[in-house]
Amino acid sequence: MEKDVPITYETLFELVMREKGREELQKLEPGVYSDIMSYIDHKKKIVSSAQTTFSSDNDHAMQQLRNIRRLARELYERREKKIMNLALIKSRTGSEAIDLSPLLEDEKMLFMSIVEKLDTSRGSVVGPILSENRIPQKKAEEKPAKGMVKFLTEVPKFVGKELEVYGPFSKDEVKELPKELADVLVSRQKAVYL
Tell me, what DSSP letter sits at residue 169?
B
Whether 177 and 146 have beta carbons less than 8 Å apart is answered as yes
Residues 6+ apart with CB under 8 A from 54: none
pLDDT confidence tier of residue 39, bands split at 50, 70 and 90: very high
pTM of the complete model: 0.61
Angle 72-85-81 (CA atoms, 0-180°, nearest 5)?
15
**pLDDT tens, residue by residue, 154-179:** 999 888 878 888 889 999 999 999 89
CB-CB neighbours of 61 under 10 Å: 19
pLDDT confidence tier of residue 2, bands split at 50, 70 and 90: very low
**pLDDT tens, residue by residue, 73-110:** 999 999 999 999 999 999 999 888 889 999 999 999 99
CATH code of the region 9-132:
1.20.58.1030
**pLDDT tens, residue by residue, 53-75:** 666 767 888 899 999 999 999 99
CATH fold of the domain at 146-193: Ribosomal Protein L9; domain 1 (3.40.5)
pLDDT above 50: residue 189: yes
Per domain, the residue ranges of the chain are 9-132, 146-193
What pLDDT shows up at residue 145?
86
b (16+ CB within 10 A) / e for 113-136 = ebbeebeeeeeeeeeeeeeeeeee
